[in-house]
Amino acid sequence: MTLADVLGTALASLGSNVLRTLLTMLGIIIGIAAVITLTAASEGAQRGVSDQISGLGSNLVFIRPGAQEEGGIQLPGSGPSLFLEDSRAIEAANFEYVESIAAQGTVGGPGDFISASAIYLGQNKSTLLLATEPSYQFVRDFYVQSGRFINEEDLTKKALVTVLGADVANELFGTEDPVGKSIRIFAGVGGFGFGFSFTVIGVMEPRGASAETDQDDVVIVPMPSFQARIAFIRDPRGRTNIDQINIKLTEGSKAEQAKEEIGQLLMGLHAVEEPDFRIQSQSDILDTATQVERSLQVLVVSIALISLVVGGIGIMNIMLVSVTERTREIGIRKAIGAKRMDILWQFLIESIVVTTMGGALGVLAGIGAIEIAERFEIGDGQYAITPLWIMVSFIVAAVTGLFAGVYPAWRASSLDPIEALRHE
């Protein structure tokens, strides 16, 4: 018998009971669909995070308040520990590898108990309020699309001007040009807080969602205006407390050296033995994000593999039932000249065909599920279907069929022809 003959026999036999074949496949279909969907989701999320972290601009170092993280966990309650003065000191130190530097303060970021919103003609949009300096554009490689960014004059005048993120502009103004319009920016807890009128001077280019925040969902104001009008609610002490210092390094400089030297400088300024701030390069953040994604992926794949094993057990069960049910058929085939190996292959190939077809349907179902998820924007991530996982799924499905089929096929091939013929 050639392989084509064996395949033909297996397909004919499977085709003679389509419903049962489909039900047998179901475990594998669901298992493979789960593998495809879940790996696509986690792969997509991972890629998205990598893209966005790289998209922050190359060669960046971030300094944030709080002690150095241990295993990604930062102990709360350490209080403000990063100040505009720190940023000025780094600038003044004239490190040859610092290209530019921009401090920023925020209200309404993730985990912030104070929220911020932008209000125009009765429309209220909850957003991130970001106070920064003109250098921010260059440091973050993030530019205005229309109008202008904040300049030095705005700083000295403590001007009430704002640059809108693309989403905020779109939501509040639609097709209308926001530049020159006046909006109200409110910061507070619940209904209590402070609101001021700001004039829109520009709109940022669209940038997409980042690892932490949607970079287009932002209103940018000059740092001094922020501190004078709004930020005092966050700063009970004399110094000007900020949330982040962004430093862009010169091309080809070493991030490790920069982190070390800038860290020493700040520890001297704060007069502490251990850092009371976090200093991370872009690749540190990328590593952490990748690690998190990796462990998530391991979890996802283990769950999917367990479901495949369960599917495989189901197939073995059905194959055993099928061997018993077809005992007489096996006897007839042996009587007309089928060898042991012919019978063995028939059942083994049947099992492998079931799981491989189940695998194919599972891949289609997985891709379909992803299409639907993307169309209806279910979940916040992007999805990336990888050829690797499609191949892995197929191989796993076929191997499952092999293992599930071996024992039933062996049982079938060892049947005594006379006993089998007598079987009712």
Partner 1 sequence: MISLTGITKIYTVGNQRVAALDGVDLEIADGEFLSIMGPSGSGKSTLMNIIGCLDRQTEGSYLLDGVDVARLRDNQLAILRNRRLGFVFQSFNLLPRMSAIDQVALPLLYRGATNRKRAAAAALKLVGLSDRMHHRPTQLSGGQQQRVAIARSLVARPSIILADEPTGALDSKTSMDIMAVFRSLNEELGITIAFVTHERDVANYTRRVISLLDGKVVGDEPNVPSFEREGEQQGSAPAEAATIAEAPS
**CB 19, min distance to partner 1, A:** 14
Element of type H or E holding 247? strand 244-249
**Shortest Å distance, C-beta 351 to partner 1:** 19
Nearer to partner 1, 9 or 117 (CB): 9
Residue 397, C-beta contacts closer than 8 angstroms, at least 6 positions apart: 28, 32, 308, 355, 356, 358, 359, 362
Segment interacting with partner 1 (CB under 8 A) among 81-89, 230-238, 284-292, 416-424: 416-424
Q: Which residues are CB-neighbours of 196 under 8 A, at least 6 positions away?
A: 160, 184, 185, 229, 230
Q: Output the smallest distance, CB 27 to partner 1, in A.
A: 25
Mask for 280-319, x = binds partner 1 (CB under 8 A): ----------------------------------------
> Does residue 391 touch partner 1 according to CB under 8 A?
no
| Shortest distance, position 4 Cβ to partner 1, whole Å | 11
Say if residues 226 and 129 touch (Cβ distance below 8 Å): yes
Under DSSP, the state recorded for 253 is -
Residue closer to partner 1 by CB (options 2, 175) is 2
End-to-end CA distance of the chain: 28
CB-based contact 240:83 (threshold 8 Å)? yes
Looking up tokens 């920064």 gives: 132
Closer to partner 1 by Cβ: residue 406 or 421? 421
Contact 101, 60 (CB under 8 A): no
Q: Rounded to whole angstroms, how far apart are CA atoms 49 and 54?
A: 8
Number of residues that bind partner 1 (CB under 8 A): 23
> Which residues 204-263 are close enough to bind partner 1 by CB under 8 A?
none
Give dist(CA 125, CA 168) in Å, integer.
7
Residue nearer to partner 1 on the CB measure, 4 or 73: 4
Length of the chain: 424
List CB contacts of 227: < 8 A, sequence separation 6 or more. Answer: 84, 105, 131, 235, 240
Applying CB under 8 A, which of residues 2, 122, 237, 375 lies at the interface with partner 1?
2
String marking each residue 7-36 x if it binds partner 1 according to CB under 8 A: --x--x---x--------------------
Least distance from C-beta 353 to partner 1, angstroms? 17
Region 322-351 residues binding partner 1, contact defined as CB under 8 A: 328-329, 331-342
Task: Fill in the amino acid letter for 255.
Answer: A
Q: What are phi and psi of 78, to 5 degrees?
A: -85, -10
| Binding segment toward partner 1, per CB under 8 A, in 5-13, 33-41, 158-166, 189-197 | 5-13
Q: How far is the CB of 44 from partner 1 (least distance, A)?
A: 45
Closest CA to 290 of 45, 31, 12, 8: 45
CB 219, CB 118: distance < 8 Å:
yes
Write down the least CB distance from residue 337 to partner 1, Å: 2
Residue with tokens 């949330």: 243
Phi and psi, residue 94, nearest 5°? 55, 45
CB of 411 to partner 1, least distance (A): 16
Which CB atom, from 279 or from 338, has the smaller least distance to partner 1? Answer: 338
Query: Which distant-in-sequence residues (6+ apart) come within 8 Å of 361 by Cβ?
Result: 25, 29, 32
For partner 1, the binding residues in 55-94 under the rule CB under 8 A are none
Q: Least Å distance between CB 3 and partner 1?
A: 12
Contacting positions for partner 1 (CB under 8 A):
1-2, 5, 9, 12, 16, 328-329, 331-342, 417-418, 421
